[in-house]
């Protein structure tokens, strides 16, 4: 390879082009779909050649759209979390805004989180992020930004509204949200690191008792 061609390859890998239009969108969708399957199957060492072939495009096209494998992987994470959590996030916001029953809204939210985040593909991607986050810290940031944490604004708004109304005693909203995750979602993520899952009965009990414990601790008063 000549010096010129090496420089061209490096530039292409570092500077993805901004490609627009329906055709470009279809190619991006095909690349993301192929990359997600490849990463789940082969880990971060999945070959870009194989991803391009599965997507029906050239490797140059993959680099034109995403620049680097790291950027592609972050796009896969964002797409997977959006697909998994879109309904849960929008449903959480709607229920917390429209319902006066915080207990019911939180139990629905917790059930939606668990269902979304314990899908086998999501667990496989999370394990992959865990294994690669030391090499690429931005993968952890991408997971955090696109994950259940996106529900924080809706939760915070609902809690603050109820605090103002005298129906919650919650001195630190941010800590409370972390505690809610810990009660209803994190047990599943911990078990997944050992390759085990929690059954439906245990899941329901964790959600029901977890939400009840959370609301009791913060002195929730029904309307």
Range of the domain at 7: 3-67
- Which two three-digit tokens encode residue 204? 């329901």
Q: Look at 136 and 21; give whichever has higher pLDDT.
A: 136
Count Cβ atoms within 10 A of the Cβ of residue 223 and give its class: 0-12 exposed, 13-18 middle, 19 or more buried: exposed
pTM value? 0.75
81 with 146: CB under 8 angstroms?
yes
Residues 88, 154: Cα–Cα separation, whole Å: 12
Q: Look at 119 and 163; give whichever has higher pLDDT.
A: 163
Would you place residue 119 in the very low, low, confident or very high pLDDT band (cuts 50, 70, 90)? confident
Same domain, 117 and 193: yes
Count structural domains, the chain. 2
The pLDDT score that the predictor gives to residue 90 is 87
Would you place residue 221 in the very low, low, confident or very high pLDDT band (cuts 50, 70, 90)? very high
Does 98 fall in a domain? yes
Same domain, 93 and 36: no
Render 104-162 in DSSP notation, one character per residue: HHHHHHHHHHHHHHTSHHHHHHHHHHHHHTTT-HHHHHHHHHHSGGGGHHHHHHHHHHH
The mean pLDDT value for 17-24 works out to 68
Same domain, 60 and 85: no
Last residue of a domain, one of 41, 67, 93: 67
* Digit-coded pLDDT (tens) for 3-14: 334 333 333 444
Residue 82 has pLDDT above 90, yes or no: no
């Amino acid at each position: 390879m000549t010096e010129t061609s090496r420089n061209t390859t490096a530039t292409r890998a570092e500077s993805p082009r901004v490609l627009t239009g329906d055709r470009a969108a279809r190619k991006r969708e095909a690349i993301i779909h192929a990359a997600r399957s490849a990463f789940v199957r082969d880990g971060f060492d999945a070959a870009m050649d194989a991803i391009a072939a599965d997507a029906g495009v050239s490797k140059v096209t993959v680099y034109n759209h995403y620049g680097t494998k790291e950027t592609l992987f972050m796009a896969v994470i964002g797409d997977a979390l959006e697909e998994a959590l879109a309904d849960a996030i929008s449903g959480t916001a709607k229920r917390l805004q429209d319902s006066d029953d915080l207990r019911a809204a939180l139990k629905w939210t917790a059930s939606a989180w668990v269902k979304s985040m314990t899908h086998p593909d999501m667990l496989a991607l999370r394990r992959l992020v865990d294994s690669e986050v030391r090499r690429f810290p931005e993968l952890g940031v991408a997971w955090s930004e696109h994950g259940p944490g996106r529900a924080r604004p809706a939760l915070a708004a609902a809690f603050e509204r109820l605090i103002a109304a005298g129906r919650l005693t919650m001195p630190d909203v941010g800590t409370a949200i972390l505690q809610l995750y810990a009660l209803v979602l994190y047990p599943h993520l911990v078990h997944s690191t050992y390759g085990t899952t929690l059954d439906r009965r245990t899941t329901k009990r964790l959600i029901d008792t977890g939400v009840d414990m959370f609301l009791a601790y913060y002195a929730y008063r029904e309307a």
